[in-house]
């Protein structure tokens, strides 16, 4: 929480929330999530659907809280990867339209339809299985499906010359509505490759038109397509990463994309309080394998976060933390549950100090992009791999709202209200 100096314990108590079960936690800025959805809306204007992606526990931010924040901020639909994610959202009262992006087993198609969950038909054989499963269930109501096109990612999707046949079969199945047509960009940073994908997508649209079939609402642009400006918004967009305040690294941005990326607000911060601060003499080995030795008399803090929490072993050497607004280096080998930090150059650090491993403190900031470079990966992985056991503390700019711990239950602050319905 920007500008907040009170310790986490005092903030929780003031909000009527229980104390945290450990000295490591994630702070999730719900107002930032809503703000970032507003950035997308400002890019695409009115009349274009925002299909907000909340798969993988909302990129590590917490699927329930993020889903409600996006719906309250105006998202038209939520997208998940698997049926169980969608069913969980229904179980906690989220009523917004939900789309499962990957194929589900045929025996669960009727269950999805009963819950008002939209499904993807992404390959001829599984599409026919899904439609057969729906017919066999003989349920009343409607099954809404989106047709995924193979345009160059080579992961899933119908070929342009086969889309009309699958669409026709879907429309001929009682109770089935074709609600969307979509694909996913493989390399939005590559202008030529993206142009080829766009052309293939348009070929699928032309195939439907030529067959006399209606063209459903189209959604092609995810965060990369939006920020690069290389594909149309069509009738819908499917942002993920940028909703969490992050922009893809090394992506060439359009003029609108530059402005949008600068407006995004990262929603996640990782914080710890030290378990131990110890003075060690020069030459002392620190951590497993003694891979780091103190070159001078040093003061070393032990933080209760490790690769079991998503803080990768590959961060050693090179990663840093913030304490008292200053950068301090990680030392020794990252363990499953702990990491050591050299605080020798920051006088007065004690057990009451909060360390920031991801996020801002004072005038310094450690970004997901910085961590991704240290880990030779992408910012998607940095936030998504934050472990379930790390408590999430949800807040607006200066007010705590919820806490989620390993048990999965959201504990709401006194007076906090969440709608999440649409």
C-beta atoms surrounding 55 within 10 Å: 19
β-pairing, 355-361 with 143-148?
A: unpaired
Asked if 76 and 97 count as a contact pair (C-beta separation under 8 A), the reply is: yes
β-pairing, 364-366 with 326-331?
A: unpaired
288 belongs to the catalytic site: yes
Contacts for 48 with CB less than 8 Å, ≥ 6 apart: 233, 234, 235, 236, 237
Is omega for the bond preceding 317 within 30 degrees of 0, making it cis?
A: yes
The residue with tokens 């008002």 is 116
Rounded (to 5) percent helix, strand, coil in the chain = 35, 25, 45
For the record, the structure tokens of 228 come out as: 């690069």
For the record, the structure tokens of 392 come out as: 């999430």
394 belongs to the catalytic site: no
Contacts for 416 with CB less than 8 Å, ≥ 6 apart: 15, 401, 402
Mark 247-258 as b/e (b = at least 16 C-beta within 10 Å): bbeebebeeebe
Active-site entry in 95, 234, 288, 307: 288
Nearest partner of 396 among 110, 32, 19, judged by Cα? 32
Q: Which residues are 54's β-sheet partners? A: none
For the record, the structure tokens of 17 come out as: 């929330």
Question: How many angstroms separate the CA atoms of 361 and 59, rounded?
Answer: 23
Active-site entry in 55, 59, 271, 394: 55
Asked if 30 and 36 count as a contact pair (C-beta separation under 8 A), the reply is: no
Enumerate the active-site residues: 55, 288
């Amino acid at each position: 929480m920007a500008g907040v100096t009170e310790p986490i314990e005092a903030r929780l108590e003031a909000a009527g929330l229980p104390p945290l079960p450990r000295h490591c936690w994630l702070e999730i800025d719900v107002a930032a999530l809503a703000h970032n959805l507003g950035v997308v809306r400002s890019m695409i204007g009115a009349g274009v659907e925002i299909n907000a992606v909340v798969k993988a526990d909302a990129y590590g931010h917490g699927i329930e809280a993020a889903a409600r924040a996006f719906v309250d901020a105006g998202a038209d639909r939520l997208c998940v990867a698997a049926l169980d994610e969608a069913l969980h959202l229904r179980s906690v009262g989220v009523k917004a339209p939900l789309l499962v992006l990957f194929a589900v087993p045929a025996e669960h198609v009727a269950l999805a339809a009963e819950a008002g969950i939209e499904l993807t038909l992404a390959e001829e054989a599984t599409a026919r299985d899904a439609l057969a499963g729906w017919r066999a269930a003989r349920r009343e109501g409607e099954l809404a499906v989106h047709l995924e096109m193979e345009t160059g990612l080579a992961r899933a999707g119908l070929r342009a010359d086969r889309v009309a046949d699958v669409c026709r079969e879907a429309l001929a199945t009682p109770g089935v509505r074709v609600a969307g047509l979509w694909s996913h960009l493989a390399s939005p940073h590559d202008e030529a490759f993206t142009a080829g994908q766009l052309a293939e997508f348009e070929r699928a649209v032309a195939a439907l038109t030529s067959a006399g079939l209606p063209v459903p609402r189209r959604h092609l642009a995810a965060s990369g397509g939006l920020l690069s400006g290389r594909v149309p918004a069509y009738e819908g967009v499917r942002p993920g990463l940028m909703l969490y305040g992050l922009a893809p690294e090394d992506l060439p941005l359009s003029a609108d994309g530059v402005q949008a990326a600068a407006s995004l607000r990262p929603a996640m911060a990782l914080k710890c309080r030290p378990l131990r601060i110890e003075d060690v003499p020069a030459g002392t080995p620190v951590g497993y394998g003694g891979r780091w030795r103190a070159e001078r008399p040093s003061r070393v803090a032990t933080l209760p976060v490790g690769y079991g929490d998503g803080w990768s072993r590959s961060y050693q050497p090179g990663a840093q933390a913030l304490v008292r607004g200053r950068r301090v280096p990680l030392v020794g080998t990252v363990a499953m549950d702990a990491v050591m930090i050299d605080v020798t150059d920051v006088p007065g650090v004690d057990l009451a100090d909060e360390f920031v491993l991801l996020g801002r403190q004072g005038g310094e900031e450690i970004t997901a992009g910085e961590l991704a470079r240290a880990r030779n990966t992408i910012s998607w992985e940095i936030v998504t791999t934050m472990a379930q056991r790390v408590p999430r503390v949800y807040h607006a700019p200066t007010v705590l709202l919820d806490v989620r711990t390993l048990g999965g239950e959201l504990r709401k602050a006194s007076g906090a209200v969440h709608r999440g319905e649409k």
